[in-house]
């Protein structure tokens, strides 16, 4: 591998600088991505390995990140479990026209063989891995069982999450049946991704933060733990990113993951004090800072590097996905600033 | 005063049970509120003291809460400062068609005399106070300078808050000029509310949680402190509610407020350990739990009471506003459960 800084940092091994990648780095802010999307709709892009590989590698070429993350969507797994998934251009996010609303709906879901139903993801990973040819490591990913369940029960993104909350409070046993099924499906899916070429895994728990701390432990964290325990990692590090869950850093560190992803509402220095040398940390710049002037971007990068301080175990990233209207030059300056400013912390 | 449990709890004095009210308790979930709204649009309701008083008192009669909060909107103050405010039925929330986007826009804002430009609020408070006739205390409120600035710069609610973030990162000096102006306007406004009859004040910092902790301190908390210092409280307790700011409970306790409002992502037992006997705590049940069956509502009430434990200094509330499609009977059961289950903690 030409550049293994990302994998080394995941394992808290020394690197010459702090490696950096961006959540949603293969995305709309890149003209090259928009050019590919002009030829194929979103799901076709996810399901066509040659195109998925092409956009996965774009940010490695264009903004010089230290890792690639496979282009896909967290909702392909509920689709593979038997739910109809619709992504229409310019009509909000993806949605399930028939969300889960009864125990019958939940019983009907099956646990898919990922090498069959999600073969397109595995093919995209293998192809990307070959095309990357060792330049940087390739990350695979999945939504957490809780986050997938939220989408599957609500039918789409939500403000108040009425239906999934009704499920966990009124019918907790049924919620656990759904989450256990999802945990099994996700661990098979992640094992297959690693087998197909993913060298690290990120679990996205986008909606863990809508829960009370007790409910977060019972309905989200517990199933993240199960996924990690049941995934055949073959040594690939696992990153757990729970948005808006700064309250539970200590508990996330005990899930068996190697890295905790941090949003921007947590002070990375405080997080480091909490986790000690148990796990590495990834993050955590406010994505809206990339709207700012290059000198402000650099100043904020320096501030986060200083909070983390000397030593290994930090992967620089945004605290959430890069926004679609960020100027490419700002993303490039972000990556450049991390690499230039971080070397002094790695002597 | 017939029922002073709320005011006593704000000051951590003994009460026979834990007093309870609900954010947005004068709202759409009440058929009696919808009947009034059928006759008057939202802003007319805010600006007609007889109607505002009527809906303010409704939840005292209907669901038996221990405090009334004046019916109004946080955005009447930017309107009084010179901005056009539009609230159209069924077209999303309120909006400013000409948001603040330049230093000229900010310079043009004036600090209004609240007894003139916001006389309708003062009249509504005086009238409500008379009509309540000492049954329960009356709460006045304002948005925090940061939350007001966010709406004024974005023009409406936002997902990413691009423009206000650009302002604070690219032009921090200009942001401070705006926030200082707002702090002055808000403290005059709150002083006038207390003068007009408000017996407690709540400051809503709905958008404090979109910031990094450093930015929260610099752009939000600092101005909440300024508001509290400059408000003539005449002994009225001040509640500070910063949504999604569980990370800064300790700092919020040092603003000079008497009560901290908690959303549901904070464990109230942990918060109590952090603040000790410096301030009272208000909250913190997940508002979506009111969708659940009455026995679940009661169980969650008991769980929060147990976390707070014995003693005074707790005002029960939801962790955010009551949702518009909650059954009234569930709201009533919530209030009943708090009163019935809490007495054992006040022996």
| A244–B265 C-beta distance less than 8 A | yes
So what's the pLDDT on residue A192?
98
Residue with token string 């030409």? A2
CATH for A268: 3.20.20.210
- Count CB neighbours of A347 within 10 A: 8
Nearest chain B residue to A162, by CA: B288
E strands present in chain A = 68-69, 138-143, 200-205, 238-242, 259-261, 280-285, 314-318
So what's the pLDDT on residue A92?
73
ipTM tops 0.90: yes
| A213–B266 C-beta distance less than 8 A | yes
Give the pLDDT mean for A47-70: 98
Contacts of residues B32-38 at CB distance under 8 Å and 24 or more positions apart, as own/partner, are B32/B58, B32/B62, B33/B58
So what's the pLDDT on residue B347?
81
CB of B294 within 8 Å of a chain A CB? The answer is: no
Burial level of A173, CB count in 10 A (0-12/13-18/19+)?
A: exposed
Q: Are B82 and B71 in contact (CB under 8 A)?
A: no
B218-277 residues touching A, CB cutoff 8 A: 244, 246-247, 264-267
CB of B110 within 8 Å of a chain A CB? The answer is: no
Helix, strand and coil content of chain A, in percent to the nearest 5, comes to 50, 10, 40
pTM (predicted TM-score): 0.96
Coil vs helix vs strand at A52: helix
Coil vs helix vs strand at B340: helix
d(CA A306, nearest CA chain B) in Å = 14
The number of C-beta contacts closer than 8 angstroms across A and B is 89
Averaged pLDDT score across all residues of chain A = 97
Tokens standing for residue B220:
């939000």
Give the pLDDT mean for A73-82: 97
Q: Which residues have CB under 8 Å from A339's CB, separation 6+?
A: A17, A18, A20, A64
Per-residue pLDDT tens for A255-274?
999 999 999 999 999 999 99
Q: What is the domain count for chain A?
A: 1
Per-residue pLDDT tens for A9-34?
999 999 999 999 999 999 999 999 99
Nearest C-alpha neighbor of B282 from the set B313, B303, B246:
B313
Sheet holding B200-205, edge to edge: B68-69, B138-143, B200-205, B238-242, B259-261, B280-285, B314-318
Give the pLDDT mean for A157-162: 90
Between A170, A265, A325, which is nearest B293 by CB? A170
| A289–B165 C-beta distance less than 8 A | yes
- What is the distance between the alpha carbons of residues A277 and B183, in angstroms, rounded to a whole number? 43
Catalytic residue among A29, A151, A189, A223: A151
So what's the pLDDT on residue B116?
97
CB of B161 within 8 Å of a chain A CB? The answer is: yes
Q: Domain of residue A46: give its range.
A: 5-345
Give the pLDDT mean for A161-166: 96
d(CA B184, nearest CA chain A) in Å = 28
Can A12 be counted among the known catalytic residues? no
Give the pLDDT mean for A125-140: 98
Backbone phi and psi for residue B190, each to the nearest 5 degrees, phi listed first: -70, -40
CB of B295 within 8 Å of a chain A CB? The answer is: no
Q: Which residue positions in chain B have pLDDT lower than 70?
A: none
So what's the pLDDT on residue A132?
98
Nearest chain B residue to A165, by CA: B288
So what's the pLDDT on residue B92?
73
So what's the pLDDT on residue B235?
97
Taking 90 as the threshold, does the pLDDT of residue A93 lie above it? Answer: no
Q: Are B294 and B283 in contact (CB under 8 A)?
A: no
CA geometry: angle B226, B10, B185, nearest 5 deg? 25
The secondary structure of residue B63, as a DSSP letter, is T
Residues on chain A touching B265 (C-beta within 8 angstroms)? 209, 211-213, 244, 247
Q: Which residues have CB under 8 Å from B180's CB, separation 6+?
A: B223, B226
Kindly state the greatest CA–CA separation across chain B.
59
d(CA B241, nearest CA chain A) in Å = 17
Instruction: Taking the CA atoms of A257, A258, A264 and A268 in sequence, report the sign of the dihedral they define.
Output: positive
Residue with token string 């593979």? A80
Q: Are A219 and A225 in contact (CB under 8 A)?
A: no
Distance of CA B333 to the CA centre of its chain: 22
Residues on chain B touching A246 (C-beta within 8 angstroms)? 246-247
């Amino acid at each position: 591998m030409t550049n293994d800084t990302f994998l080394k940092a995941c394992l808290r091994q020394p690197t010459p600088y702090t490696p950096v990648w961006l959540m949603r780095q293969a995305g709309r802010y890149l003209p090259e991505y928009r050019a590919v999307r002009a030829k194929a709709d979103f799901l076709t892009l996810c399901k066509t390995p040659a195109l998925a590989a092409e956009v996965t590698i774009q940010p490695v070429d264009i903004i010089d990140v230290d890792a690639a993350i496979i282009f896909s969507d967290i909702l392909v797994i509920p689709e593979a479990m038997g739910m109809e998934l619709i992504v229409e251009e310019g009509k909000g996010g993806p949605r399930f026209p028939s969300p889960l609303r009864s125990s019958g709906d939940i019983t009907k879901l099956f646990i898919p063989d990922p090498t069959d139903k999600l073969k397109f993801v595995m093919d995209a990973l293998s192809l990307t891995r070959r095309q990357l040819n060792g330049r940087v490591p390739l990350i695979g990913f999945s939504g957490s069982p809780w986050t997938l369940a939220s989408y599957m029960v609500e039918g789409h993104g939500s403000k108040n999450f009425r239906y999934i909350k009704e499920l966990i409070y009124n019918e907790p046993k049924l919620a656990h049946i759904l989450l256990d099924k999802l945990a099994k499906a996700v661990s098979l899916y992640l094992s297959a991704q690693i087998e197909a070429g993913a060298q690290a895994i990120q679990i996205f728990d986008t909606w863990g933060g809508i829960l009370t701390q007790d409910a977060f432990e019972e309905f989200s964290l517990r199933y993240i733990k199960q996924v990690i325990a049941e995934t055949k990692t073959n040594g690939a590090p696992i990153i757990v990113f729970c948005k808006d869950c700064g309250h539970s850093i200590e508990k996330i560190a005990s899930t068996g993951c190697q890295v905790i992803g941090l949003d921007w509402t947590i002070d990375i220095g405080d997080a480091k004090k909490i986790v000690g040398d148990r796990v590495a940390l990834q993050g955590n710049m406010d994505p809206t800072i990339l709207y700012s002037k290059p000198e402000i971007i650099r100043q904020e990068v320096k501030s986060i590097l200083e909070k983390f301080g000397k030593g290994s175990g930090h992967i620089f990233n945004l605290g959430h996905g890069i926004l679609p209207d960020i100027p490419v030059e700002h993303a490039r300056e972000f990556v450049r600033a991390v690499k230039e400013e971080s070397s002094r912390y790695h002597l």
